[in-house]
Structure 1
Amino acid sequence: MLSFLRTAGPVRTKVSHLTTLTMENGRSSVSFHNDTNTSSQRAFHVFTVPPCEPGENPKDNSVIIPPFHAHPNQEEIFLVTAGTALFHLNRKQIPVSAGNEITIPRGDYHKFANASSTETLTLEGWYNPADPAREERFFRNLYGYLNDATAGGVGATMLGNASILQISLFAWEADMPICEPMVALGVPKIVGIPIAYGLTWILGVFVGKWMLGYKASYEEYYHESSE
């Protein structure tokens, strides 16, 4: 068993503050939790991911499935609670079944998907160190925007009117450089992360925000007063 993959401990039972953002006509969702059963008062998110399209090379078909990205200043931990997840970590593909956790080290290229074409995947995710307000703001803006851009339809490969400039701005504000081109070109992390930061800033901030007037947060997706 790989060192960053482990069996989860006891299931948490005491949770306060639960809100859910539902997308794609109910096929996918992300919930925001405040966990009061730990000394750290950890905030975490629960993702519901629909089955992938079947075939020899299963296709992602939901806006909730992210592109390759990185968290240079945070590690990310996932607990699979139902189904089987397929994590892409740098150049490895790692299936993680229900009851197991996986830790994504800081600065690693990664993304996740549903490994099954028949079962729904649910997984919890949290960051260390955590920034709950920023994280919830990012997910509400990103997924609210993508759901609108696809008119509530389905298909991560068909993102409707979604703009890579707007997505890059959301990612920049969340300290989450988009690394899809770096992975496709085989660029090592030590070089690829700084390049990804630069591209995310140019597309999101310089072009999207400064030239075209895009925002990092929208009232219809996230109410700043809710922090």
Structure 2
Amino acid sequence: MTPPDPPPLTVVHPGEGRTGDLGAIGVQFKLWGHDTGGALSVVEHPFPVGALVPPHLHSFEDEFSIVLEGEIGFRSGDREVVLGAGGYITKPRGEYHAMWNAGSVPARMIEIISPAGFEHFFREVSELIGDPETAAVRGPALADRYGLRFAEPDWLAGVIERYGLGTT
């Protein structure tokens, strides 16, 4: 009996990967679902000073984040933490969470998404971002298709004020 062929090897060197603009933050695609048999995808997100990813909920996937540079604040449910380089956090599906640059220098993190698929939402948003009228019309349907929900919880104003978000 012949053993099955090993899966293809995917190599992404530092700085490689398609990039895009998501509005408040950027995205650099590292591993797509087709690279991992659909198990997960990996992206990097640069967070400029003052950046806020507003509260949202994922219906289909969990996210795991690793801070590479700077300080990034996370709020998931009623838990809030600021992590520096080397910090890890899980953000489970079905729970509203937000992220922001909590420091005075640009920050960067790796996002592991499981199962894969949500990386295509990032791709589609980055393709829409240059056309605000189209984004306003197609954005809600796009979010709905990917099981993404947004909210404005009571705690959001306090986070914005404490960290001076959206002011730079």
Q: Hey, what does 1:138 align to over in structure 2?
A: 121
Whether the aligned pair in 2 keeps the contact of 1:76 and 1:125 (CA below 8 Å) is yes
State the aligned residue count. 140
- 1:4-153 maps to which residues of 2 (within 5 A)? 14-15=11-12, 18-22=17-21, 28-34=25-31, 42-52=40-50, 60=51, 65-116=52-103, 118-131=104-117, 135-149=118-132
* CA RMSD across the alignment: 3.1
- In the alignment, structure 1 segments of 5+ residues that lack a partner are 1-13, 53-59, 150-159, 186-227
Distance 1:23 1:110 in 2: 17
Whether the aligned pair in 1 keeps the contact of 2:40 and 2:114 (CA below 8 Å) is no
SS of 1:167 mapped into structure 2:
helix
Whether the aligned pair in 2 keeps the contact of 1:18 and 1:31 (CA below 8 Å) is yes
Aligned-partner residue type, residue 75 of structure 2: H
Deviation at 1:71, TM superposition (A): 1.5
Q: Write out per-residue CA displacement over residues 155-174 of structure 1, whole angstroms, 9 at most, x where no aligned residue.
A: xxxxx9952x5322121111
Distance 1:114 1:147 in 2: 23
Whether the aligned pair in 2 keeps the contact of 1:23 and 1:147 (CA below 8 Å) is no
Distance 1:45 1:85 in 2: 16
Deviation at 1:69, TM superposition (A): 1.1
Q: Write out per-residue CA displacement over residues 138-195 of structure 1, whole angstroms, 9 at most, x where no aligned residue.
A: 112223323432xxxxxxxxxx9952x53221211112122x14x249xxxxxxxxxx
- In the alignment, structure 2 segments of 5+ residues that lack a partner are 1-10, 156-168
Q: Write out per-residue CA displacement over residues 8-58 of structure 1, whole angstroms, 9 at most, x where no aligned residue.
A: xxxxxx52672112477xx952111128xx987742010111011xxxxxx
Deviation at 1:94, TM superposition (A): 1.1
Distance 1:171 1:23 in 2: 13
Distance 1:141 1:122 in 2: 21
Identity %: 23
Higher strand share: 2
Aligned-partner residue type, residue 91 of structure 2: I
Flag as ranges the 4+ runs of structure 1 deviating above 6 A: 38-41
Higher helix share: 1
